[in-house]
Structures are given as structure tokens and as C-alpha cells.
Amino acid sequence: MPAISASVIAFVITTALLLVLRPLALRIGLVDEPGGRKSHDGRVPIVGGIAMLGGLLVAAVMGSDLGHNGVVVIVASAFVVVVGVLDDLFELAASYRLFAHAAAAIALVFGTGYIVPDLGNLIGLGESSLGWLALPFTIVSCIALINAFNMLDGLDGLAGGCAMTALAGCFALSVLHGSVTSAILAASLFGACVGFLMFNLPTMLNRRLRTFMGDSGSTLLGFLLACIALLLVQPARVDIPPVVILWLLPIPIFELFATTLRRLMRGTPAMAADTGHAHYRLLAAGFSVRFIFVIYVLVSTGAAWFGIAAFQGGMSEPILFGLFVATFFVWLAFIRLAPVIGAALPLVLRRDVENLPH
């Protein structure tokens, strides 16, 4: 199957590139220094985004004929990674990053001709057509997902793990509904994510090879997932209701809305970095990094499985949407109760155990 071959190729190339690029990153200063919100030890290379893009490129070129739309996606993805690398090196202003992400989203929409024409039947009154809002909604949604993954990339494994489960869901939907293009793209990026996670999982086994994806990697994941989602919702192609896509990306979407609302209520800039993200609050409550990673992956996997199974089983869109909103409030309650839950955790799941000698 071409998609499986593409996934294996992306995994191999990403892994090889990470091994080659790590020493180079240390020499040129493309590293993450500890301090501030960052509690890791030593200088950690930030080459995950470059390596995943390389794996994706090789897999896409070797897997099949890209076609016009495929070339648009690859070129826009490369642009996103270049901007991310510059941000990792020089800490670009938020306005520059936003402009670059908007440019990539606009290039994607006008290059492929794909937009989100409607929101589906979310409240049971028929399809909610976006009309003239379809174009700006598509662009803003793409930018939002890019930044959602950027917000998520605060602890080892979180962004890669959540992306991996979302990509598995996209692949399953693509296979079930006969979309070869999205299946190959999802499988390729899945393989690249697995390769990267070998260097980024919160485990002692990869301590000597620890690598971060950086802004180049988190924005690449967000952008490519937006590309795949856009392909899946096209009425003339796969025609997956947008509400099903929500179930594939629960935690990034929860984080995006919770963070945006929090910052608006406090009057702080929407793109300003802070320590109010869910993973930081869980960490402060005593949860270990490894346990947080497990929670995020399990929630993401369970949500994706439920969303796909419920949709394939004929559950209506209003019920799927209502359940998703309810899940969001359950997640907020869990985060609010984190200090109480954290105090009751066994030692093996608490943060303290990670600070002990191994």
C-alpha cells in the first residue's frame, strides 16, 4: 500500500536527519536553553521540524505524483518551517509570525482552491452555509490550528503525540472514504512524527539524544493537519462533516479556546507566551511529565476513536457537536481540579519522582 510505504520512508528519513542535524544544531546555536518556563537540563537541539519536513518531502516525492495541489502544500509547508527556524533562532515578534502564518494559509487556499463551505448541521437546523465568510473562516481556522499546536508544544511528547493520534484518525477516515491523497499525506506525517518522538518522548532511554521540534515543528504539524482537514471536508471529494474533525483534534482545540478566552479576560495579547496552558497547570499540580503525556495521548486517542466510530455508526452531527462541547467542559473541570487530583496521585505518577537520581 503506497501510504504504508510513505510512512516507513518518512520515519527512516526523519530519524536519519535527526541524527545528522543534532551535532550541527549544537555548533550553530539552534538549541533551546534552560530557564524561564523551560525546566529541561542542558542545551537541547531544535531540529525536529526540519527533520520531519525532510522525511515528509522524501516520502511524498517517492510515494506518488504530487500534482499541483501537492506541490502547493509542500511549498507552503517549507515556508512555515523556514519561518519557524528563524523564530527558534531569533525569537521573531508575534506580529511577524502571524503575518507569515496568514501568508501560508492564503497560499494554501488560493493555490488549491479549497475552502470550508459550511459548518455542517451543527444544531439540527440544516447545513450552516458560510457564504462569503467561507474564505476568511478557512484562513483564520488554518492560522488557529497552527498556533494551537504551538501552544501545545510545552512538554516532551505532547505536540507530537497529539498530532500522531490525529493523523491516525485522518488516515482511517481517508481509507474508509477512498481518499488516496489525504491517506498518503497523513501516513507520511505520521511516520515522521514517530521518528521524531523517538528523540522526544519523556523517557530516560533517549536522554542523550533528546531533541525538540521547536516552533518550526509545531507550526508544521498544525499547518499540515489543517491541510489534511481541509481536504477531508471538501464536498466534492471526501465530504467529512467538520464536527468529526473536531474529535480528531480535541486537546489542541481545547487549548486554543481556553487560552484565547483566558487572555481576553485578562487583557493580555492573544499570542503572548505564558504558563497558563493546561500542561503547565498539571505540572504545577504535581503531575509528572510522563503522566501528562499519557493523559494527552489517551484523551486524544479516545476522542478520535469515538468521533470516527460514532460518525461511521450514523450518529447525528448535532449530537456529536453537543458531546464535544460537553467534553470541553469536562476537560476544563479536570484542569481546575488538578491540584486536588495531583495531591492524591501515587508517587510514581508525581513530578517529584522525575527529579530523583536514576
Helix (H) or strand (E) run with residue 165 in it: helix 158-176
Please provide the distance, in angstroms rounded to a whole number, between the alpha carbons at the two ends of the chain.
Answer: 43
pLDDT tens-digit series, residues 37-46: 455 456 899 9
**Domain range annotation of the chain:** 2-355
CB 160 within 8 A of CB 206: no
43: which DSSP letter? -
Supply the pLDDT for residue 246: 97
Mind listing the pLDDT tens digit of every residue in the chain (358 residues)?
688 899 999 999 999 999 999 999 999 889 987 654 455 456 899 999 999 999 998 987 776 656 778 889 999 999 999 999 999 999 899 899 999 999 999 999 999 999 999 999 988 888 889 999 999 999 999 999 999 999 999 899 999 999 999 999 999 999 999 888 889 899 999 999 999 999 999 888 888 899 999 999 999 999 999 999 999 999 888 889 999 999 999 999 999 999 988 888 888 776 677 788 999 999 999 999 999 999 999 999 999 999 999 999 999 999 999 999 999 999 999 999 999 999 999 988 988 544 433 3
pLDDT tens-digit series, residues 65-108: 567 788 899 999 999 999 999 999 998 998 999 999 999 999 99
Q: Which residue, among 117, 222, 95, has the nearest Cα to 167 in the 3D structure?
A: 222
User: With helix as H, strand as E and coil as C, how does 282-340 read?
Assistant: HHHCCECHHHHHHHHHHHHHHHHHHHHHHHHCCCCHHHHHHHHHHHHHHHHHHHHCHHH
